[in-house]
Structure 1
């Protein structure tokens, strides 16, 4: 019994420290990353944020880039805690997903893309009809679907896979900026997360 109490106390202390470090430590990290990104961007203008728009390439599937654009707009609405905007953008994303032309891919890729599109569209549809907490639950799976789509279609832009250890035992999302803007917590823990992977 004594051992169980000690384990519980240690677990609570660890959780408290993790939350505090996620809240406070990320502010410093975000400032550092923002500073280094600003210096980087001064020398290299290729890393535009979502707000500046996406670069479209003739070598990439324009429809896939449109799906990404709509996904990033939806992410930004969740970051801003804007339930109404997220509903509208969820419906927009459903349309761009369903209009994705997979005909130029191999049979195996087409089959995989069709499965991804079906699943992603279902989650985007739920987002278009749900309150914020439920939107964020569906955004987690939607983000995995969009990441899987990009692994097949490629992208004309450098993307960043980011990860929040706090939300639902750990959740990832895609961004066009290295800056952490957490769509799962919005203003509650805006900078909670870390850069996990760069996708070119």
Structure 2
């Protein structure tokens, strides 16, 4: 019985705190209904420093070209760039890395290569390519954290992608150009993290 009373008390306190918010400043005029304003948030919420390294340069170059093709809604170009990315993974040099880094990077590259291959094999199916691109982006981020980068990169995030579950991608610019929606919602997203090099 005490637990129920405590839980009810917490619920009432939480509801009370929520109810005190001032919603009078929200503008809900008829002309604004159905219109969403996606703003470019140019300030990164977090910064991660990675080592300066050219070992991932070819992978980053190809990934950014693939992203650009998806931004442009160009499925054929995305397939072609993804094939180039697949080839860059095959040429990635692990020899200068420690044993533990080699193991982690090998697993990341194996997974990322599968997604790159799926994208290259699905020309004409942008939705499917974009699904694999989202997972591929996570792999590229993980690769950069271990292998380093030769440039500053930004982790972007679109909260609306994948039915509201959200999706992330990497960019060389803080300007939001959404590869998941392309021309449909080009500016949906914001900077989540900045990867700087030391």
Q: What TM bracket, shorter-length normalisation?
A: 0.7 to 0.9
* Counterpart check, 1:24 vs 2:36: yes
Which consecutive residues of structure 1, in runs of 5 or more, have no partner in the other structure?
A: 1-19, 37-56
For the residue of structure 2 that corresponds to 1:198, the secondary structure is strand
Q: Which has the larger radius of gyration?
A: 2
* TM-score, structure 1 as length reference: 0.72
Partner of 2:54: 61
The structure that is helix-richer by fraction is: 1
- The Cα of 1:176 is off from its aligned counterpart by 0.4
Residues 1-27 of structure 1, C-alpha deviation per residue, up to 9 Å, x if partnerless? xxxxxxxxxxxxxxxxxxx8997322x
| Cα distance in 1 for residues equivalent to 2:33 and 2:130 | 23
* TM-score, structure 2 as length reference: 0.73
Name which of 178, 181, 184 aligns with 2:177.
181
| Cα distance in 1 for residues equivalent to 2:98 and 2:150 | 20
Asked which structure has the greater RCO (Cα within 8 Å, sep 6+), the reply is: 2
Partner of 2:151: 157
| Cα distance in 2 for residues equivalent to 1:128 and 1:199 | 27
Taking structure 1 as reference, are residues 93 and 186 closer, same or farther at Cα in structure 2, changes over 3 Å only?
same
Superposition pairs of residues 20-59 of structure 1, within 5 angstroms: 24-26=36-38, 29-30=39-40, 33=42
Name which of 182, 193, 197 aligns with 1:197.
193
For the residue of structure 2 that corresponds to 1:116, the secondary structure is helix
> What is the root-mean-square deviation in Å for CA atoms of aligned residues?
2.1
| Cα distance in 2 for residues equivalent to 1:76 and 1:136 | 12
Residues 75-120 of structure 1, C-alpha deviation per residue, up to 9 Å, x if partnerless? 0000000011001001100000111001111100000000000000
For the residue of structure 1 that corresponds to 2:187, the secondary structure is coil
Name which of 113, 116, 119 aligns with 1:121.
113
Which consecutive residues of structure 2, in runs of 5 or more, have no partner in the other structure?
A: 1-31, 44-50
Give 4+ residue runs of structure 1 displaced > 6 Å after superposition: 20-23
- The Cα of 1:70 is off from its aligned counterpart by 0.1
* Counterpart check, 1:88 vs 2:74: no
Partner of 1:135: 129
The answer on whether the counterparts of 1:158 and 1:176 sit within 8 Å (CA) in structure 2 is yes
